[in-house]
A and B are shown apart, each in its own frame.
Chain A
Amino acid sequence: MSRQRLGSWWFVGTLVFALVSMLVPLPGVLEPFKPYWPALLLLYWSLESEERVTLGLAFLVGLCADMLNGVVLGEQALRLCALVFIVLRFRSRLRFFPMWQQTLAVLALLLNDRILLLIVRLLAGGSFPPASWWISPFVGAALWPFLFLLLDDLRTRLRIQ
C-alpha cells in the first residue's frame, strides 16, 4: 500500500519537477538549448507505465504548463495530447526498440511537437522564429538516453511499479 503511494508521489513529483524546470531561466546564450521537459517526462511515463498516462492527464499537465507559462491557454495541452497519443499508439513497438532507435523516435516526436507549436503560433499571428529555435528538440533527444536510464534506475531502486 505505502509502496503504491510512494510510486504515485514519485510520478507526480517528476511531473512537477518537469514543470518547474521549464520555468527555470538560463543565460541568454543557452536559452535555445533548453529541452521541453514536460514532453520528455510524459514520454518516459507513457512508455513505462501506460496505466498512469492517459490523454486526460496529458491535457491536464499541458493546462498547468500553460497557466505557469502564460502564453495561450490550451497551447501546450494540445501539443502534449498529440504527443502522448502518438506514443501510446506506438508504445509496444517503441519499448522494444534499441536505445538509438528510440532516441531517433523521440527526436521525431519532439520535432513534430515544434512544428505543431509553430503552426499554432503562426495562426495566432506570431512571427517566424529564428533558426536557433529548432535546436531544442535535438538537445531533448540527446538527453533522452540519459534521462531514460536515470529514471529507470531510480525506479528499480525505489521498487516502483
Chain B
Amino acid sequence: MSRTRDGSSPLFAGNAAGTLRLIVYLALAVVLMVLDHRNGWLWRLRTTAAAVVEPVYRLAGLPAAGVRTLSVAFADRQRLTEQNQRLREDLLLANARLNRMAAVAEQNQRLKELLDTQHSLELNVQLARVIDVDLGAYRYQLTLNAGSRDGVRTGQPVIDSHGVMGQVKEVLPTTSVVMLITDPVHAIPVVIERTGLRTVAYGSRDGSRLVMPNIPLAADVRAGDKLLTSGLGGRFPPGFPVGEVVSAASALTGMFQVVQAQPAADINRSEDVLLLHDQAEPDGPPAPVDAMGPPSELAPGVASSSPAPASSEVRP
C-alpha cells in the first residue's frame, strides 16, 4: 500500500490542507444547519427526495413488522385463547354500549334536524397505520402510511380511540408526518370540561406531557379535570378529549398557575390512527339556514305581508 500521499510522513499524516478542508466542511454544515433551522429547507428537500426516502422507511420498518408477525406466530395457545376470550367480552360490552349510543345518536340526530343545524354526528374519517421509524432522539413525530395520494392534507387532525394525537405536518406522496400535541412547538386550544375555562395547551419540553402555563391563579383547576378541544381557531373540531390534568401549581413568577396534563391519546402505543376529514367549521358567522316552516306555496300571500322578511329572502 503506498502511503506517500502529499509526500507527508505516514505517522503524522495531518497537514494544513486537511485541516482547511475540515474547516470548509464544518462551515458548510453549520451554514446548512442555520439555513434549515430558519427556513425549514429540509422538508422541501425531503418532499423532492420522497421517491428515495419512502422505500428506505418501509425497509427500516420491516424488522419491527417482522417481530410483530413472529410474536403472533409463536404466541402460545393458552395466551391466544385468553386474549380471544377477553376480546369477546370486550366486544359484547362495546356492542351493548354501541346499541345504546346508536339510540341516543338517532334521537340526537332527530332533535338536531328539528333544530335544522348543519352539524352531523358522523365523523368523516380515514384509517391510517403508523409506520415504525425511529426519527431521531426527539420523538415528537409519527410517520403514517397515508399520503397525498390518499387525500391527506396538511393540517388534518389525527386522533386515536382515546383522544387527539396531533395534526398532519408534512405530506409526502404515500406517507405523511404527524406533529404530536406533546411537541414543544405545538399548541392546541382546549377547554376544561368541569369549569368551562378556555385555555391553550402546549407540548412540554420533555415531550410526554401537556403544559398550560398561563391559567389565572384564581381559576379552579384540579388534578383529574378533563381537557377537551374547544374548537377555537378552527383547526381541531370541538369536543374531543385531549388530556387529563395531573398537577396544578403556581408559576415561579407567582402570577399564573402552571398546569400539567397527561395526553388522553395513547401516543406511544397507537398502531392505527384516524385522520379527520371534516375540518372544523370556519370562523365567522354561520351560513344562512334554509327556510323553516310550511312550504311557500301554502303560505298565504307570499309577496304581500310576510311576517318574517328574513326567512323569505333565503327561500329558493
What 1/0 flags go to A78-98 for Cβ under 8 Å of B? 100110010011011100000
What 1/0 flags go to A54-93 for Cβ under 8 Å of B? 0110110010001111111111011001100100110111
Q: Which residue of A lies closest to B11 (CB)?
A: A92
Q: Which residue of A lies closest to B52 (CB)?
A: A67
Q: Is A24 an interface residue (CB 8 A)?
A: yes
Q: In the assembly, what is the distance between CA of A69 and CA of B206, in Å?
A: 19
The total of chain B residues at the interface (CB under 8 A) is 44
A59-B25, A78-B26 known; A73+B14 contact, CB < 8 A: no
Is the pair B29, A78 in contact by a Cβ cutoff of 8 Å?
Answer: yes
A28-B268, A67-B45, A70-B135 known; A55+B21 contact, CB < 8 A: yes
Q: In the assembly, what is the distance between CA of A62 and CA of B3, in Å?
A: 27
Contacts of A19 in B (CB 8 A): 56
Q: Is B141 an interface residue (CB 8 A)?
A: yes
Q: Is B133 an interface residue (CB 8 A)?
A: yes
A24-B134, A71-B138, A73-B36 known; A55+B30 contact, CB < 8 A: no
Q: Residue B45 contacts which of A20, A28, A73, A82 (CB distance < 8 angstroms)?
A: A73
* Contact stretch, chosen from A3-11, A122-130, A146-154: A122-130
Q: Is A133 an interface residue (CB 8 A)?
A: yes
Is the pair A72, B33 in contact by a Cβ cutoff of 8 Å?
Answer: yes
Q: Is B42 an interface residue (CB 8 A)?
A: yes
Q: In the assembly, what is the distance between CA of A33 and CA of B11, in Å?
A: 35
Contacts of B134 in A (CB 8 A): 22-26, 31, 34
B2 shortest CB reach to chain A, Å = 9
Contacts of B36 in A (CB 8 A): 72-74
Q: In the assembly, what is the distance between CA of A14 and CA of B191, in Å?
A: 52
A56-B25, A88-B18 known; A74+B56 contact, CB < 8 A: no
Q: Contact residues of B with A, CB < 8 Å?
A: 3, 10-11, 13-14, 18, 21-22, 25-26, 28-33, 35-37, 41-42, 45-46, 49, 53, 56-57, 59-61, 63-64, 132-138, 141, 177, 205-206, 268
* A-B residue pairs in contact (CB < 8 Å), sample of 14: A23-B56, A23-B60, A25-B61, A69-B135, A70-B141, A72-B37, A73-B35, A74-B32, A75-B29, A78-B26, A78-B29, A82-B22, A124-B37, A127-B206
